[in-house]
Amino acid sequence: MKDNVILTGFMGTGKTSLGKLLATRLGRPFVDIDKKIEDEAHMSIPKIFEKFGEAHFRELEKAAVKELCEKRGLVIATGGGTIKDEENLLLLKNSGVMICLTTEPEEIFNRTARRGERPVLDGGGNERLETIKKLLAERKKFYDRADYQVDTTNWSPIQIIDDICKHLRQFS
Ligand code: S3P
């Protein structure tokens, strides 16, 4: 299968770590959109948010999506908010098979506990779990448009990768 495989989903669902494993399993190059943005900006994502604001980050994200969607054969991990932009969502979907990783909010809360790394959650203060639940509810309609969803809350990485590969075989 030459199409891209796109891993999307909320922060803390495992897009980057599972994307690397999946790419190794499939023998394909792996591209993480957040990392691509950081490498090209020579700056971390929290720093980009702090210096230039979220709107600028979203522009960089959009440019990265456009560039990557002209390619095929990649495993691409999106950022958690990449597909809330309709154009990004359509470009990514049309470039391959989109898999959405899901995780229970409490587990997302645990996995994203370190402050300073996820600027869209850091405004949440003590209400961080509520912020996660609110954003998940807002974004559900976008995540639901993926071709397939896998719940990563309780499964091991191997189980998740096996499950994704089983479903990818249906598209090949
Ligand atoms: C964001 C998620 C982050 C990163 C940025 C914005 C979001 O990616 O793109 O901080 O809006 O959900 P991860 O999901 O990889 O943490």
Give per-residue pLDDT as tens, 63-101. Answer: 999 999 999 999 999 999 999 999 999 999 999 999 999
In what side-by-side order are the strands of the sheet with 96-102?
30-32, 75-77, 4-9, 96-102, 148-151
**What integer pLDDT is reported at residue 138 of this predicted model?**
97
Q: Is 41 in the pocket of ligand 1 (CB under 6 A)?
A: no
Q: Is 34 in the pocket of ligand 1 (CB under 6 A)?
A: yes
Calculate what percentage of the chain has a pLDDT beyond 70.
95
Measured by CA distance, the residue closest to atom 4 of ligand 1 is 79
| pLDDT tens-digit readout, 141-168 | 999 999 999 999 999 999 999 999 999 9
